[in-house]
């Protein structure tokens, strides 16, 4: 790796301990992946925020970095283990809340904006086409690379923090044109509609990519897609396939920048969609929990939930997980009042994946294929996927 004078000074400790440690991490990663130098990043998204994942060790590392570390670029956080205001109503215990706040305080001390959300692109950490960023959070990485056309590798918690503190990332992988072309042609021969169905599509493509040992699909046959459908698709294809970048013909900005893959292809039919949907609905299901907002609900989705819940009462635990700024818009628009009067709960700053709710419910209904994966694996729930409308109907049934 060629270092600039400034980077060499960072390595020599002239900018303090946190910067030195950070640049050491980035140089090592650059050497491992054969980067020839660093590139400046315009923004950072940090994962590893939930105390359930960090533990005391992670917290100690963050506290040490916060002693003299300050971020150089706009940096936001992934969801935490709890809603920072409403945690008691969501059944989070006090000890956990205390520790979670210690972690968030350490991030705040470094100058990080502590909106805890997996959709930074909806709340102002919004890169432009072609910009280099260093993001953790697999669904947001996939969204930034694919839907926006920004450039990031799949960072982990410490490497993203290192980029925030130095403003740099080693230039390899998805930062380079040569690694961004499609590898597998996916022909979709079915109508795909709604966040749930785009999640099902993401699982089919993700599973198939793992089987093929490939990462970047080029998808054709999708005439249109909303932001909500794309964020659901990103979360799913990243969860099941480890995908950080896809191209979608006529939809994503780089689809015609590189040659269309021809050597490897597969097709997806309506019956494939039906079959995979059924894999995301468990047998002997007893639903006692409904959650919408994986990834975090947009204001459009909250408006829809409010209109479906108006004048009704929910009979099951029902969470709407979202970013706090989005929740504030919902407050001002009057949607929150309608939703809370119906007995549903907002869980801002957190989500059904990272909150410490393992074993607390029997069955969860969601509109997200990613939430199905973690609901099963991490929280040991039975799962059912369905459109938002059916999720709301289940909650009031």
Partner 1 sequence: MCGGGYKMKLEGRKIYKGTAEAEAIVTKDGISFYGGVDPDTGKVVEVGHELEGQSIAGKVFVFPTGKGSTVGSYTMYRMKKNNLAPAAIVNKQIDTIIAVGCIISEIPCVDQINTNEIKTGQRLIVNGTEGTIEIID
Closer CB to partner 1, residue 136 or residue 186?
Answer: 136
Rounded to whole angstroms, the Cα distance separating 371 from 355 reads 12
Least distance between partner 1 and beta carbon 17 (Å): 12
Task: Output the smallest distance, CB 333 to partner 1, in A.
Answer: 37
Tally of residues, the chain: 397
- Measured from the CB atom, is 156 or 343 closer to partner 1? 156
Q: What is the dihedral of CA 310, 316, 321, 324, to 10 degrees?
A: 60
Beta carbon nearer to partner 1, 30 or 182:
30
Q: What is the largest CA-CA distance in the chain?
A: 65
Beta strands in 84-170 (DSSP E): 113-116, 134-135, 168-170
For 80, 82, 123, the CA distances from 355, given in Å and listed in that order, are 7, 6, 21
Nearest to 192, CA basis, from 225, 240, 220, 219: 225
**Residue that has been written with the tokens 């980035």 in this structure:** 26
Q: Residue 306 CB, nearest distance to partner 1 (Å)? A: 36
Question: Coil, helix or strand for 38?
Answer: strand
Of residues 158 and 293, the one with the C-beta less far from partner 1: 158
Q: How far is the CB of 354 from partner 1 (least distance, A)?
A: 12
How near is the Cβ of 290 to partner 1 at its closest, in Å? Answer: 28
29 vs 344, beta carbon nearer partner 1: 29
Residue 58 or 202: which CB sits closer to partner 1? 58
Helix, coil or strand: residue 371: helix
**Beta carbon nearer to partner 1, 29 or 164:** 29
Q: How far is the CB of 28 from partner 1 (least distance, A)?
A: 5
Decide: 19 and 27 in contact? Cβ < 8 Å: no
Looking at the Cβ atoms of 60 and 67, the one nearer to partner 1 is: 60
What residues line the site for partner 1 (CB under 8 A)? 21, 24-25, 28-29, 31-32, 47-48, 53-58, 60-61, 136, 156-159
Residue 18 CB, nearest distance to partner 1 (Å)? 11
Q: How far is the CB of 21 from partner 1 (least distance, A)?
A: 7
Q: If we measure between CA atoms, which residue out of 237, 204, 276, 235 comes closest to residue 368? A: 235
> Token digits for 58?
């992670």
H or E, element range at 339: helix 335-341
CA-CA distance, 161 to 103, in Å (whole number)?
13
Residue 261 contacts residue 185 (beta carbons within 8 Å): yes
């Amino acid at each position: 790796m060629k270092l600039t004078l400034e980077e060499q000074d960072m390595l020599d400790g002239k900018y303090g301990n946190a910067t030195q440690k950070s640049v050491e991490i980035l140089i090592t990663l650059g050497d491992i992946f054969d980067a020839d130098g660093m590139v400046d990043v315009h923004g950072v998204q940090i994962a590893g925020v939930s105390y359930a994942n960090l533990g005391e060790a992670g917290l100690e590392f963050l506290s040490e970095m916060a002693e003299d570390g300050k971020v150089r670029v706009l940096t936001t956080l992934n969801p935490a283990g709890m809603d920072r205001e409403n945690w008691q109503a969501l059944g989070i215990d006090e000890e956990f809340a205390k520790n979670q706040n210690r972690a968030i305080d350490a991030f705040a001390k470094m100058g990080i904006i502590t909106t805890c959300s997996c959709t930074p692109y909806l709340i102002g950490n919004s890169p432009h086409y072609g910009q280099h960023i260093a993001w953790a959070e697999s669904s947001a990485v996939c969204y930034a690379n694919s839907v926006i056309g920004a450039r990031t590798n799949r960072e982990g918690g410490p490497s993203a923090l290192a980029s925030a503190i130095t403003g740099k990332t080693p230039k390899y992988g998805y930062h380079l044109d040569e690694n961004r072309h499609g590898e597998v042609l996916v022909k979709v021969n079915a109508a795909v509609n709604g966040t749930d169905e785009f999640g099902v599509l993401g699982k089919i493509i993700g599973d198939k990519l793992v089987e093929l040992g490939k990462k970047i699909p080029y998808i054709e046959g999708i005439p249109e897609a909303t932001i909500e459908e794309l964020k659901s698709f990103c979360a799913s294809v990243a969860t099941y396939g480890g995908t950080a970048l896809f191209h979608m013909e006529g939809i994503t900005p780089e689809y015609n920048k590189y040659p269309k893959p021809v050597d490897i292809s597969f097709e997806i039919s309506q019956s494939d969609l039906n079959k995979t949907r059924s894999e995301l609905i468990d047998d002997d299901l007893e639903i006692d929990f409904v959650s919408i907002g994986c990834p975090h609900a947009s204001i459009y989705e909250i408006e829809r939930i409010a209109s479906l819940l108006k004048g009704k009462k929910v009979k099951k635990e029902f969470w709407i997980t979202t970013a706090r700024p989005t929740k504030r818009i919902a407050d001002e628009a009057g949607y929150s009042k309608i939703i809370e009067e119906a007995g549903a709960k907002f869980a801002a700053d957190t989500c059904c994946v990272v909150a410490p709710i393992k074993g607390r419910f029997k069955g969860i209904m969601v509109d997200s294929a990613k939430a199905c994966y973690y609901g099963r694996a991490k929280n040991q729930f039975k799962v059912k996927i369905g459109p938002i409308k059916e999720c709301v109907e289940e909650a009031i049934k």
